[in-house]
Amino acid sequence: MSEPFYVTTPIYYVNARPHLGHAYTTICADVINRHHAMMTDETFFLTGTDEHGDKIMRAAKKEGMTPRAYVDKISALFRELWPQLNIANDHFIRTTDPSHMAVVQMVLQKIYDQGDIYFSEYEGKYCFGCERFYTDRELLNGKCPDHQSEPEIIKESNYFFKMSQYQRWLIDHIHEHPDMIRPERYKKEVLAFLREPLEDLCISRPKSRIKWGITLPFDKDYVTYVWFDALINYVSGLGYPDDPRFAKFWPVVQHIVAKDILKPHGIYWPIMLKAAGLPVYKHLNVHGYWNVAQSKMSKSLGNVIEPLQLKNVYGLDAFRFYLMRDMVFGLDAGFNEESLVQRINSDLANDLGNLFSRVVTMVHKYFKGVVPRADLPIERELDLRLEETAARTVEKYIQEMEVLAFHKAIAAIWDLVNQMNKVIDVTAPWELAKNKTCQTQLQAVIYNLLEGLRIISGLIYPIMPETAALMQKHLGCDARQPFYKIDLLKQWGRLAPGTQLPKSVTLFPRVEIQKQADDNASNGRAKVLKPELKPEINMDDFARLDLRVATVVRAEAVPRAKKLLQLEIDLGEPELRTLVAGIAGTYAPDELVGRQIIVVANLKPAKLMGVLSKGMLLAASNESQTAVLTLDRPMPAGTQIG
């Protein structure tokens, strides 16, 4: 049944050009939006730009432009980028749109009239970069944690929003709606903020200091604080209050943001909605940060990744696939071109691309390019129950997409891809083709493989829409049918026997690393081993290490330690052991439970963040990624390695 679905991205500041981080969030929103279109929902997807405030005014000045001309220029960079990344937003909102500004004034007036806004003198520590006051508790060594600069003391009269009186309500609301903020770790973070008393929010800036903003409807000497202005885009973008789209889509809204703006979205925004008499959003989906060489992307570090450059070198669908596959939604990920190239060559060129060209080539070789008949008896063991596997894959894919576990949805599709490659190896159609009595089986095997490819082409549609369409064309699907709709993917046997297929194409050519100016790399391989090889050891040195197989029984985050996970492991001893590992940036705790890992079992115990770690797990790691060593088949816990 068709349900409404509404997704938003943050509206991006126009003080810098769009980069990989903005592209990631917007592609996530596009993928989930296309997924809902696939589920036959009625969808609405909003993105846009945040254009008021001091930060923007200063950026304009630096460029020697008026704020108006400057915001027009940078906003256009965002607006024009999205179609080039195949992002199909329904509306692009700008906070300088007169319709948005009118809604902000309307909401402010309503909250003011009901007595939730008051005027007061305030002296506080103000960070111009963040455009907000900081309490001492929030500062790190007296400095702004984001800008590493000392805030200035400012004394002024301002308008305040009575957030504090909604604190209890918000805590209760979050408890009553346990999946409102997800993944869970961010809900916990918001609840942790709420354990401290909430202060009222200063929602105005005097025009004597900042002119570039929306005038308060009840005091023409003040403009609205940028966050109060920006958050309202999510309702003004639907045409609130009168547009029927608002009534339809608001109750189901899902926001996607990164962890940097959790507080305004997890605290200010629900309280603003409550005060304005509007329902709170359904989900706030929070993802982690893409880092480059373990640092935040920043202009000053010169490590800003431009999405269009990557698209031009590696292809759009490969770029979208990499972003969705290599980040666990909610955790940080390290961007590096080597792993992008590896994903393209292994998952796309090797696994999917080869499967597709093998099957289509066989249709041409054995059946003159015509889809064979399938209503002949099929020898079940020959197709390794592809139909059942495909049905299970569709269910698993839906389940994972609903919770934005994109990497798991992709892994499920790739299980099917691998299963199909296995079917080809096991059934050896080239052998069947040699034997006249095996023609029925050959037809059945090829037909089932074609059907499997059709299902895969539908399932990859949200992530790789161009490749999906190309595959469909070469599978002879009816171009007039919306081929990705879920009911078509749940039915086996939709391809019409007798259809003539076009010649096969290469879906993903293999690629080589294109990175420039890396004097240590040639074709992606370092010429010099880094870090340098350690001094030689003999067997006795090695034998002093007691390496063992262990099974992870439980895993959880170590409180207040962003990078650490605490594992309870079974080493085949009478009691479980505790082990602490610095892998929380890459692995979610539940990903590890049940896995077998390799542990240095005789390492002297050490305390990490107050937890005694008895042993150390082995992992491969460089500056941007970490991979825990596991076994390729199960072994009893405690087995020695050597």
Catalytic site positions: 19, 22, 127, 130, 144, 147, 296, 299
Closer by beta carbon to ligand MSP, 289 or else 508: 289
Contact pick of 5, 6, 7, 22 for ligand MSP (by CB under 6 A) = 22
Q: Show the binding pattern over residues 137-166: x = contacts ligand MSP (CB under 6 A), - = does not.
A: ------------------------------
Tokens of 406: 């994109």
Centroid of chain to Cα 547:
36
Residue among 166, 345, 331, 174 at smallest CA distance from 258: 331
Q: Show the binding pattern over residues 26-65: x = contacts ligand MSP (CB under 6 A), - = does not.
A: ------------------------x---------------
Q: Scanning residues 237 to 266, which ones bind ligand MSP (CB under 6 A)?
A: 257-258, 260-261
Angstrom distances, CA of residue 376 to CA of 389, 447, 448 = 21, 11, 12
Closer by beta carbon to ligand MSP, 27 or else 567: 27
Residue among 111, 285, 336, 96 at smallest CA distance from 204: 111
Shortest distance (Å) from residue 177 CB to ligand MSP? 20
Q: Which residues of 164-183 are buried (b: 16+ CB within 10 A; e: fewer)?
A: eebbeebeeebeeeeebbbb
Contact 472, 459 (CB under 8 A): no
> Which residue sits closest to ligand MSP, CB atoms considered?
21
Shortest distance (Å) from residue 297 CB to ligand MSP? 5
Site membership for ligand MSP, residue 181 (CB under 6 A):
no
Contact pick of 223, 230, 445, 501 for ligand MSP (by CB under 6 A) = 230
Stretch that binds ligand MSP, among 6-14, 436-444, 493-501, 535-543 (CB under 6 A): 6-14
Size of the site for ligand MSP (CB under 6 A): 19
Q: Scanning residues 310 to 329, which ones bind ligand MSP (CB under 6 A)?
A: none
Residue 264: asked if its preceding bond is cis (omega within 30°), the reply is: no
Number of H helices, E strands in the chain: 23, 28
Closer by beta carbon to ligand MSP, 332 or else 400: 332
Contact 587, 563 (CB under 8 A): no
Closer by beta carbon to ligand MSP, 25 or else 215: 25
Q: Scanning residues 486 to 515, which ones bind ligand MSP (CB under 6 A)?
A: none
Q: State the DSSP code for 151.
A: P
Stretch that binds ligand MSP, among 11-19, 185-193, 461-469, 606-614 (CB under 6 A): 11-19
Shortest distance (Å) from residue 51 CB to ligand MSP? 9
Site membership for ligand MSP, residue 25 (CB under 6 A):
yes
Closer by beta carbon to ligand MSP, 80 or else 113: 80
Q: What residue type is 473 in one-letter code?
A: K
Closer by beta carbon to ligand MSP, 227 or else 484: 227
Contact 331, 344 (CB under 8 A): no
Angstrom distances, CA of residue 585 to CA of 8, 156, 291, 340 = 25, 41, 11, 19
Q: Scanning residues 278 to 307, which ones bind ligand MSP (CB under 6 A)?
A: 289-290, 297
Residue among 590, 596, 587, 593 at smallest CA distance from 621: 587
Site membership for ligand MSP, residue 24 (CB under 6 A):
yes
**Contacts of residue 95, Cβ cutoff 8 Å, sequence gap at least 6:** 11, 48, 49, 50, 51, 52, 101, 214, 229, 230, 233
Residue among 386, 398, 292 at smallest CA distance from 625: 292
Shortest distance (Å) from residue 572 CB to ligand MSP? 41
Q: State the DSSP code for 251.
A: G
Closer by beta carbon to ligand MSP, 25 or else 421: 25
Site membership for ligand MSP, residue 78 (CB under 6 A):
no
Site membership for ligand MSP, residue 201 (CB under 6 A):
no
Residues that bind ligand MSP (CB under 6 A): 10-13, 21-22, 24-25, 50, 230-231, 233, 257-258, 260-261, 289-290, 297
